[in-house]
Amino acid sequence: MTSSHRLDRTVILNTAALLAEEVTLDRLTLNQLAEHLGVKTPSLYHHVQGLRDLYAGLASLGMQRLGTQIARAAIGKAHGDAIRAIAREYRTFARTYPELYKAILKSPEMQCSAITEAENGIVQILFKVLEPYHYSEEEAFHRIRGLRSLLHGFVSLEAAGFFRAPWDVEKSYERLIAGVLDSMNPSP
């Protein structure tokens, strides 16, 4: 139970992220969140402007957490090792926090500087990882889009239950990343 004097946007978003994993993002309501926090629903409106603002906050929080995790995974690694580590961590995040990941996917429909900043953080991590390949800025950007699309596509299909064939899903993911790495052609 949280008293309203300790209530702030950070507490609300962290609690909402946990609650969303329990009840699903689509079923999360401000009334449930207030009850979970031990406050009256109007108390939330001092910190969030409604459900849409809560979703925007969760999208930003999700991107920040994902960015932190992939940055940690890439530290001390270069070239293929860094990309493989990022790919593993991306998938782990999506599997561990499926509802927070869904919140990230809602972000394009929301105009919010915090979301833009968090997304730029992820892109900058990927730019940094691609620096040793000496791509032009445009080429690096295209490759980042491609990598993010492949990772998202795989984790989304996996989460939706599309990979029912008897072959090892881990091996499929490893081969997908190996294919990306084969296309990278690092500079000496």
In a domain, 30, yes or no: no
In a domain, 23, yes or no: no
In a domain, 168, yes or no: yes
78 backbone dihedrals φ, ψ, rounded to 5° = -140, 165
Q: What confidence score (pLDDT) does residue 6 get?
A: 84
In a domain, 92, yes or no: yes
CA atoms within 13 A on the CB side of 39: 21
Q: What confidence score (pLDDT) does residue 105 get?
A: 86
pLDDT in tens, 74-111: 999 999 999 999 999 999 999 999 999 999 888 766 67
In a domain, 37, yes or no: no
pLDDT at position 48 over 60: yes
- Give the whole-angstrom CA distance, residue 25 versus residue 35: 16
Domain that holds residue 65: 49-182
* Whole-prediction pTM: 0.87
In a domain, 41, yes or no: no
Question: Please, what is the Cα angle at 32 between 30 and 36, to 5 degrees?
Answer: 115
In a domain, 105, yes or no: yes
In a domain, 2, yes or no: no
Provide the CATH number for the domain around residue 137.
Answer: 1.10.357.10
Domain count, the chain: 1
